[in-house]
């Protein structure tokens, strides 16, 4: 006999578990179905454990440069197994935290894969497709997330070619690695492995690293990575991967030139695709295309009236905080509340390599394509007293404003821990703050955050620390 609920969430990642908690808070009798680990990809094999690995690399890099700070350190080395173990411990702790939250909010958890039998009922099956439970619900929220996308000619086999999950849990540190794709996942793993001693070649089809970011940011990261000693191949493709002994032979094409690079392993980091298959969407008429469920972005409703979709399975941007926010809006709408709609042009993106990258809004190129006349300001961290004191002078803050009305169109940062700074731009844009209001708001000195104000001042010809000539008003 099927158990009955007001809301059933399929998937327990940052979208799913947040939606379930909010539903319970609003008085809904709530269930959640998870086929693997509570917390989903993000907490278990994504955002959280990779940040733990990156922190280990950052600490190692700090020790490596300890002499720059007047500190002598002898006999240090990277313990790859220890780094992986710490990463798994952090992930396990967070997953247990979600378990606690489910109990605290009286949300019933079902282990298994949720498959629709009708728009009002799913079955929960085990890994052999045997039915364990049946659940009826007035409303379903699909939050099944996404998985790594495969290139047609480069199949992920878990040995020669691996995905991000395998990359964070390798048993042995590779001596040489080729990474395909220079998006967030690619450049983060490139930083981690290179920092602890792996020879890394990173291959990107586009002309700059992190191609979704402002071009100035991608160019800057490319220069920094080359200076660090990474082999950066932009405007290039991996044509094939062949096994050679215990390693691989990778054919890389740049323009008309082909070159072979040998490595221990290849990491495929060319994006993700939503988990839309095998959950009964076709049978009940939920529309999707190219790995993403179609939704009404004000309510998250699918083409079926009582079924909703949030997070990666509903398309980009593929970010945990976007998924969580969609989940809250979805459930509050179900409860008859009137939440503010999601502003998809004001979702910050963060990349946690070192230097870090953070951005929100239009790139300079996008702003021009939209027809804006713009003011652009840039402030390098080399002119920041705090950055100099920290020993991290690389990077900059770049801001873009509409010349006519003063709207803050975009903000782009590359530098040490800039992911902690981007929220100022997000909130300011949400409040329709003008450039002069940012300039007049007193920023503490010395901090990295004052670089935001300095960049805005440069955009308006009011900067005082770069020797710039005032701009005509």
Residues serving a catalytic function are: 445
Binding site members for NAD(+): 181-188, 204, 271
Q: Look up residue 320 and give its two tokens.
A: 């945990």
Find where tokens 């990666």 sit.
312
Binding site members: 51, 114, 181-188, 204, 271, 312
Which 3 state secondary structure label does DSSP give 157?
A: coil
What pairing do the DSSP bridges indicate for beta strands 307-309 and 131-142? parallel
Q: Which residues pair with 398 in a beta bridge?
A: 378, 412
Which 3 state secondary structure label does DSSP give 98?
A: helix
Contact residues for 96 (Cβ-Cβ < 8 A; gap 6+): none
Which 3 state secondary structure label does DSSP give 326?
A: helix
Q: Cα angle vertex 46, ends 309, 57, to 5°?
A: 155
Binding site members for FAD: 51, 114, 312
d(CA 266, CA 429): 40
Determine how many CB atoms are found less than 10 A away from the CB of residue 90. 17
- Segments of 271-385 assigned E as strands: 272-274, 288-289, 292-293, 307-309, 349-351, 356-361, 374-380
- Is residue 184 within 8 A of residue 358, CB to CB? The reply is no
Instruction: Give the DSSP letter of residue 35.
Output: S
Find where tokens 């907490």 sit.
43
What pairing do the DSSP bridges indicate for beta strands 396-402 and 408-415? antiparallel
Instruction: Give the DSSP letter of residue 421.
Output: T
Q: Which residues pair with 247 in a beta bridge?
A: 244
Which 3 state secondary structure label does DSSP give 320?
A: helix
- Is residue 176 within 8 A of residue 296, CB to CB? The reply is no
Instruction: Give the DSSP letter of residue 388.
Output: H
Furthest-apart CA pair in the chain: how many Å?
76
Length of the chain: 473
Of 248, 69, 253, nearest to 156 (Cα)?
A: 248
- Is residue 218 within 8 A of residue 190, CB to CB? The reply is no
């Amino acid at each position: 006999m099927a158990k009955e609920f007001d809301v059933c969430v399929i998937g327990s990642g940052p979208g799913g578990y947040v939606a379930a908690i909010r539903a319970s808070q609003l008085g809904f009798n709530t269930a959640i179905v998870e086929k693997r680990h509570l917390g989903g990809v993000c907490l278990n094999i994504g955002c959280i454990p990779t940040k733990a690995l990156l922190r280990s690399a950052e600490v190692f890099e700090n020790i490596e440069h300890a002499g720059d700070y007047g500190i002598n350190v002898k006999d240090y080395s990277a313990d790859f197994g220890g780094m992986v173990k710490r990463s798994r411990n952090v992930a396990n702790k967070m997953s247990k935290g979600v378990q606690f939250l489910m109990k605290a909010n009286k949300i019933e958890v079902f282990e298994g894969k949720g498959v629709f039998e009708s728009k009002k009922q799913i079955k929960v099956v085990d890994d052999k497709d045997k039915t364990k439970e049946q659940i009826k619900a007035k409303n379903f929220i699909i939050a099944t997330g996404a998985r790594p996308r495969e290139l047609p000619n480069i199949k992920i086999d878990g040995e020669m070619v691996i995905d991000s999950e395998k990359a964070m849990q390798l048993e042995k540190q590779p001596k040489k690695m080729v990474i395909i794709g220079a998006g967030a996942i690619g450049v983060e793993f490139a930083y981690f492995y290179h920092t602890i001693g792996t020879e890394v070649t990173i291959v990107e089809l586009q002309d700059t690293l992190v191609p979704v970011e402002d071009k100035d940011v991608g160019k800057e990261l490319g220069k920094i990575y080359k200076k660090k000693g990474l082999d950066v191949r932009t405007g290039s493709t991996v044509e094939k991967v062949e096994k050679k002994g215990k390693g691989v032979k990778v054919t890389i094409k740049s323009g008309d030139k082909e070159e072979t690079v040998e490595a221990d392993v290849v990491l495929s980091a060319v994006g993700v695709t939503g988990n839309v298959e095998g959950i009964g969407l076709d049978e009940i008429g939920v529309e999707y295309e190219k790995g993403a469920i179609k939704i009404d972005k004000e309510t998250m409703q699918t083409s079926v009236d009582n079924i909703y979709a949030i997070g990666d399975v509903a398309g980009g941007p593929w970010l945990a905080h976007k998924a969580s926010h969609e989940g809250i809006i979805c459930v509050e709408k179900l409860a008859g509340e009137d939440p503010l709609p999601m502003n998809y042009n004001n979702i910050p993106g963060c990349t946690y390599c070192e230097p870090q990258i953070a951005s929100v809004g239009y790139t300079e190129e996008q702003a021009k394509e939209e027809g804006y006349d713009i003011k652009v300001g840039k402030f390098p961290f080399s002119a920041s007293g705090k950055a100099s004191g920290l020993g991290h002078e690389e990077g900059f803050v770049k801001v873009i404003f509409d010349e006519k009305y003063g709207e803050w169109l975009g903000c782009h940062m590359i530098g040490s821990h800039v992911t902690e700074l981007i929220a100022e731009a997000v909130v300011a844009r949400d409040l329709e703050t003008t450039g002069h209001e940012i300039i007049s708001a007193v920023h503490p000195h010395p901090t990295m955050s004052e670089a935001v104000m300095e960049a805005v001042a440069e955009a308006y010809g009011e900067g005082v620390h770069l020797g710039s000539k005032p701009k005509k008003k």
